[in-house]
Amino acid sequence: MNRRQIRFRNFVIAILTWLLGSVSLDAQPLNFGLYAGVNASQVAGDSYYGFNKLGLNAGFFVNQLIEYDIYWQAELRYSSRGVYQGPSDNSNALYKSGYYILELPFSVHYLYDGRVMVELGTSPELLLGTRYWDEYGLMDPSTYPENRRFGLSVFGGIGFWFNNNIMAGLRYTNSAIPFRDPEEWNNAQNRGYFHSVFSLSIIYKFNHR
């Protein structure tokens, strides 16, 4: 296990310890649940435009009431992101990338009128793997660009509870720091590469207030 892996493991342990320590016998009960959905993503900083790359998201969460319909929430989440630029009338060129990421989102939620949820949060990330394709198929891994193993994103979202257990949620996630350095450091407009992701998910909560 290298130093980065040790630091990430220690970070996860610290977060879990803090979460467990924040729950006392007289605290509000924990809610927990599962969710799954689809992502539409692009990368800011490259030459491709549009949220054309579809992927999956899935995970589980715990949350707890703080007060006045305000909750904290912690998650363990898998997400696939990337870029897709297909052939056009003028070119047969194709470019597709896939980034497979383990996220640890932490957020604060406000529940309005028992139905409408608004969230803001941040998420440390671990890059599990990448794949790149062109019009000839899967590219040689030796040609892959170098990406950071660890990242950080910020996100905001909104959801609607249909009943006490089921919600549909829309979340927008953006890299807080670049996941890859710029190719031209002398270009002041190129700060690096950033993920931009819209996620639509269905959430199932086992417990409720």
Long-range residue pairs from 48-51, CB within 8 A, at least 24 positions apart, any chain: 48/83, 48/84, 48/85, 48/95, 51/196, 51/198
Q: CATH classification of 32-205 is 1.10.10.10, yes or no? A: no
Considering the entire predicted model, what is its pTM? 0.84
CA dihedral 51, 55, 59, 61 (to 10 degrees): 10
Residue tagged 């630091």 (tokens) = 7
β partners of residue 116: 112, 160
Q: Over its length of 209 residues, how does the chain's per-residue pLDDT go in tens digits?
A: 566 556 666 666 665 565 555 554 446 788 999 999 999 999 998 888 899 999 999 999 999 999 889 999 999 999 999 999 988 778 788 999 999 999 999 999 999 998 999 999 999 999 999 999 998 999 999 999 999 999 999 999 999 999 989 999 999 999 999 999 876 555 545 788 999 999 999 999 996 55
Mapping DSSP to helix (H, G, I), strand (E, B) and coil, where does residue 100 land? strand
Q: Where are the domains of the chain?
A: 32-205
Q: Contact at 8 Å (CB) between 170 and 138? A: no
